[in-house]
C-alpha cells in the first residue's frame, strides 16, 4: 500500500537549544501547518520526508541538507578528493563513516545516484568503507559489519589483493554495472561516500 510522502526543508531556530538538542520547524505540505520538533544533531539545515511506519503512524525521516536519503540512511557524495585515511576522518568529522554497503538494493541506489547526478566523468572512483589494511585479503568494513562475500560487488578479477592495494572504491563510468568495486592504493586521492543513520521521530 503506497503512502503519501511530504518533503520539507528544515532550518534551526535562533533560540539557544538545550544540550544535544536543537529546535526545528517542519513545514507539512503547502498549507502552512507548522509542527515544532527537535533533532539531536548540529547541522544547520535538514531535509525531511514524512512517511508512515506500521507501529508509529506518521514518521519524519531527516537527513542533513546536501545528504541523500535512502531507506534508513543518509549519504554524502563528495565533490573533492582525499586519500582513504583522510576520507574516513572527514566522514567521522561529520558524525558518519565511509559507506558500508550491505545489499544489492543499496549498491544500486548509490550507483544510480552517481550516474544520474554526475554529468561528465570518466572512470570516477569513490572510496567506500572497506579495507584489508590489517591483513592482506581479509576485508573489513569500517563499522565492524561482517564482510559478506555474497553481498560484495567486485569487478571481474577484483580484488587483486596486491600488497599495495588495500582500500576499496566504487569505480563508476558511464556504462558501469552493479559489479564495480576495485581495490586501489590507500594513498590515492579520489572522491568518497559517507553514510550515517537517518534521524527519525
Query: Could you read off the pLDDT of 5-29 as tens digits, one per residue?
Result: 444 444 443 333 333 333 343 443 3
Q: Compare 116 and 104 and report the one with higher pLDDT.
A: 104
pLDDT of residue 95: 94
Residues 87 and 28 in one domain: no
- Establish if 1 belongs to a structural domain: no
pLDDT of residue 26: 47
Q: Domain residues for 156?
A: 70-199
Residues 121 and 184 in one domain: yes
pLDDT of residue 47: 84
Flag whether the pTM goes above 0.85.
Answer: no
Residues 163 and 175 in one domain: yes
- Which residues have C-beta within 8 Å of that of residue 72, sequence separation ≥ 6? 61, 197, 198, 200
Domain count for the chain: 2
Are 51 and 58 in contact by the 8 Å Cβ rule? The answer is yes
Residues 125 and 178 in one domain: yes
Residues 143 and 84 in one domain: yes
Residues 110 and 174 in one domain: yes
pLDDT of residue 33: 30
The 8 Å CB, 24+ separation contacts for 58-61 are 59/200, 59/201, 60/26, 60/200, 60/201, 61/198, 61/199, 61/200
pLDDT digits (tens, 9 = 90+) for 30-61: 333 334 344 545 555 888 888 766 665 677 88
pLDDT of residue 196: 96
Residues 101 and 189 in one domain: yes
Residues 97 and 18 in one domain: no
Q: What percent of the chain has pLDDT over 70?
A: 72
Amino acid at each position: 500500500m503506497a503512502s503519501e510522502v511530504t518533503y520539507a526543508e528544515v532550518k534551526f531556530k535562533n533560540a539557544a537549544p538545550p544540550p544535544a538538542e536543537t529546535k526545528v520547524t517542519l513545514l507539512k505540505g503547502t498549507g502552512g501547518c507548522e509542527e515544532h520538533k527537535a533533532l539531536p544533531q548540529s547541522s544547520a539545515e535538514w531535509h525531511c520526508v514524512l512517511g508512515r511506519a506500521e507501529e508509529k503512524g506518521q514518521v519524519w525521516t531527516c537527513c542533513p541538507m546536501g545528504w541523500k536519503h535512502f531507506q534508513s540512511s543518509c549519504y554524502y557524495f563528495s565533490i573533492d578528493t582525499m586519500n582513504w585515511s583522510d576520507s574516513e576522518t572527514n566522514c567521522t568529522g561529520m558524525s558518519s563513516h565511509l559507506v558500508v554497503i550491505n545489499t544489492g538494493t543499496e549498491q544500486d541506489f548509490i550507483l544510480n545516484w552517481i550516474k544520474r547526478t554526475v554529468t561528465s566523468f570518466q572512470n570516477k572512483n569513490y572510496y567506500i568503507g572497506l579495507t584489508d589494511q590489517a591483513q592482506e585479503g581479509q576485508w573489513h568494513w569500517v563499522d565492524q559489519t561482517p564482510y559478506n562475500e555474497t553481498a560484495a560487488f567486485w569487478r571481474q578479477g577484483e580484488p587483486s589483493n596486491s600488497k599495495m592495494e588495500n582500500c576499496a572504491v566504487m569505480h563508476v563510468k558511464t556504462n558501469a554495472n552493479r559489479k564495480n568495486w576495485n581495490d586501489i592504493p590507500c594513498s590515492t586521492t579520489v572522491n568518497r561516500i559517507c553514510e550515517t543513520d537517518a534521524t527519525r521521530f
